[in-house]
């Protein structure tokens, strides 16, 4: 005898006993229903069927019938084949979104997940333990941004790991900027800040780790210096943006969760698009991936409005660059590594010998020379003068 037949027999015996007590007036309909663990309405329905049909009236009416919502077997084969042949390794959620978008799959996420689990192509995720309460989000976009880098095999065809620099809004989880570089550092931070401020506006706070391009830490493991600023710290101070350093991985939870999502989804999206170079990947990220990511993962801020302000402070490149002071030599030149920058005649003064000037190195590797707020020269990366330079007022 099968387990189903045993359970059905026990159900019949229990119902028969309770029905007999009800018929003799020893139990009300409500009490009988409670004994059976069903509603009073269900008990009355089963009682009517039992009195007319006997034990057969207790059988489930759905037994032996095909569900009207059942999906054809060939669709099961198509979905499992699609996952196995093209999207192996994708999460079920990611695969379901792509299958609906590009392959005409109309089945629900729950059905897709159950089919992939039953086929053994996807293993059910382990149950999560109770998580500590997360820090509340900022109420307005632009109040706080998270910036971080993640070194990973983003492009398997490239054959080496590179860094992804991502900048995200705390209030909405909107990804404002993301791009690949060979190595994270000051230049990549300036690039990300330029993209965010140029497209979205000036924000209030930047939350980062305590990497050496973000902060000076006099002693390892101790608090960062607020007086010895890095180039990034100096630029943020000029922009009026408060810089906050994280002191534990848990403090950067939103960034960590973002990169977990990106390492799962972005890698697969880049591979599926057949992208093998950093330049092509960055175009794909900016034009295709970021809009789709934000539609899927960005949330509404808890308060209306924004803390982002349009940038009206002039050329951002003059702030988001490497700046250092140098003393002009006796030959009216400035030495910068192996380069010797010749200062051309200027209406400001006869010469600049022994004067302190500021050297600015920009993201495109060109160089600017400033005396106070006035530009006195611009140079190519090899030190040759740029003849069509613009002069600051």
Does residue 128 sit within a domain?
no
Q: Could you give the dihedral angle defined by the CA atoms of residues 43, 44, 49 and 51, in that order, rounded to the nearest 10 degrees?
A: 100
Mean pLDDT of the region 62-91: 76
**153 pLDDT exceeds 80?**
yes
239-265 pLDDT tens trace: 999 999 887 765 567 888 899 999 999
pTM: predicted TM-score of the whole model, two decimal places? 0.72
Cα 328 from chain centre? 47
Does residue 129 sit within a domain?
no
Q: Could you give the dihedral angle defined by the CA atoms of residues 97, 72, 87 and 283, in that order, rounded to the nearest 10 degrees?
A: -40
**154 pLDDT exceeds 60?**
yes
> Could you tell me if 231 and 204 lie in one domain?
yes
Contact 346, 355 (CB under 8 A): no
Cα 82 from chain centre? 26
* 146 secondary structure, DSSP code: E
Does residue 125 sit within a domain?
no
Does residue 201 sit within a domain?
yes
The residue among 332 and 20 whose pLDDT is bigger is 332
Helix (H, G, I), strand (E, B) or coil at 368: strand
CB atoms within 10 A of CB 315: 10
> Could you tell me if 213 and 283 lie in one domain?
yes
What does the block give as tokens for 230? 């890095």
CB atoms within 10 A of CB 87: 18
295-309 pLDDT tens trace: 999 999 999 999 999
> Could you tell me if 91 and 212 lie in one domain?
no
Quote the pLDDT of residue 241: 94
Confidence of residue 391 (pLDDT cuts 50, 70, 90): very low
Helix (H, G, I), strand (E, B) or coil at 309: strand
Confidence of residue 78 (pLDDT cuts 50, 70, 90): confident
> Could you tell me if 216 and 347 lie in one domain?
no
The residue among 120 and 202 whose pLDDT is bigger is 202
Does residue 366 sit within a domain?
yes
> Could you tell me if 224 and 362 lie in one domain?
no
The pLDDT mean for the chain works out to: 86
Does residue 165 sit within a domain?
yes
261-287 pLDDT tens trace: 999 999 999 999 999 999 999 999 999
**Alpha helices for 220-363 (secondary structure H):** 231-239, 253-272, 278-284, 290-297
Quote the pLDDT of residue 392: 42
Does residue 309 sit within a domain?
no
Domain-ending residue, one of 15, 31, 58? 58
Q: Which of 145, 213, 204 is nearest to 178 (CA)?
A: 145
Does residue 167 sit within a domain?
yes
What is the percent of the chain with per-residue pLDDT over 90, rounded to a whole number?
55
Contact 341, 351 (CB under 8 A): no
Q: Which of 134, 150, 145, 109 is nearest to 266 (CA)?
A: 150
**125 pLDDT exceeds 70?**
yes
User: Of the ranges 93-102, 119-128, 219-228, which is most confident?
Assistant: 93-102
**152 pLDDT exceeds 60?**
yes
Residues 26 and 48: their CA atoms lie apart, in Å, by 18
> Could you tell me if 355 and 286 lie in one domain?
no
When mean pLDDT is compared across 70-84, 155-169, 345-359, the lowest value belongs to: 70-84
Based on the structure, what is the number of domains in the chain? 4
Cα 199 to Cα 177, 236, 350: the distances in Å are 10, 17, 42
Contact 293, 286 (CB under 8 A): no
Quote the pLDDT of residue 390: 44
> Could you tell me if 292 and 185 lie in one domain?
yes
Q: Does the CA dihedral 323-326-332-333 come out positive or negative?
A: negative
Domain around 333: 321-379
Residues 139 and 294: their CA atoms lie apart, in Å, by 18
> Could you tell me if 213 and 245 lie in one domain?
yes
304-334 pLDDT tens trace: 999 999 999 889 999 999 999 999 999 999 9
> Could you tell me if 195 and 332 lie in one domain?
no
**5 pLDDT exceeds 80?**
no
> Could you tell me if 275 and 164 lie in one domain?
yes
> Could you tell me if 80 and 54 lie in one domain?
no
What is the percent of the chain with per-residue pLDDT over 70, rounded to a whole number?
87
CATH number of domain containing 342: 2.40.50
* 333 secondary structure, DSSP code: E
Bridge partners, 151 (sequence order): 163
**225 pLDDT exceeds 50?**
yes
Contact 382, 342 (CB under 8 A): no
> Could you tell me if 203 and 89 lie in one domain?
no
Contact 163, 292 (CB under 8 A): no
What does the block give as tokens for 355? 């004067």
């Amino acid at each position: 005898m099968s387990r189903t037949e045993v359970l059905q027999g026990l159900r019949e015996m229990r119902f028969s006993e309770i029905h007999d007590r009800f018929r003799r007036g020893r139990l009300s309909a409500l009490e009988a229903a409670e004994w059976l663990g069903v509603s009073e309405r269900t008990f009355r329905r089963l009682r009517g069927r039992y009195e007319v049909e006997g034990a057969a009236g207790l059988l489930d009416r759905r037994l032996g019938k095909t569900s009207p919502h059942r999906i054809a077997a060939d669709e099961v084969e198509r979905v499992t084949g699609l996952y196995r042949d093209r999207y192996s390794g994708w999460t079920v959620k990611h695969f379901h979104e792509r299958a609906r978008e590009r392959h005409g799959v109309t089945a629900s996420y729950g059905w897709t997940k159950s089919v992939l689990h039953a086929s053994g192509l996807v293993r059910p995720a382990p149950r999560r333990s109770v998580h500590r309460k997360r820090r509340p989000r900022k109420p307005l976009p632009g109040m706080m941004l998270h910036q971080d880098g993640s070194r990973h095999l983003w492009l398997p065809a490239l054959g080496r790991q590179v860094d992804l620099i991502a900048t995200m809004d705390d209030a909405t989880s909107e990804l404002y900027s993301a791009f690949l570089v060979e190595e994270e550092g000051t230049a990549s931070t300036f690039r990300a800040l330029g993209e965010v401020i140029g497209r979205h506006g000036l924000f209030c706070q930047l939350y980062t780790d305590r990497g050496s391009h973000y902060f000076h830490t006099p002693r390892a493991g101790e608090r960062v210096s607020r007086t010895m600023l890095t180039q990034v710290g100096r630029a943020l101070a000029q922009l009026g943006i408060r810089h906050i350093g994280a002191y534990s991985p848990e403090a950067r939870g939103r960034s960590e969760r973002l990169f977990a999502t990106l390492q799962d989804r972005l890698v697969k999206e880049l591979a599926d698009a057949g992208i093998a170079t950093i330049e092509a990947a960055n175009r794909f990220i900016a034009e295709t991936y970021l809009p789709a990511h934000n539609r899927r993962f960005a949330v509404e801020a808890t308060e209306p409005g924004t803390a982002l302000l349009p940038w009206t402070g002039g050329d951002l490149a003059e702030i988001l660059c490497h700046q250092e002071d140098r003393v002009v030599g006796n030959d009216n030149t400035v030495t910068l590594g192996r380069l010797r920058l010749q200062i051309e005649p200027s209406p400001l003064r006869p010469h600049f010998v022994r004067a302190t000037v500021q050297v600015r190195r920009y993201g495109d590797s060109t160089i600017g020379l400033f005396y106070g707020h006035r530009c006195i020269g611009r140079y190519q990366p090899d030190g040759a003068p740029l003849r069509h330079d613009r002069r600051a007022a």
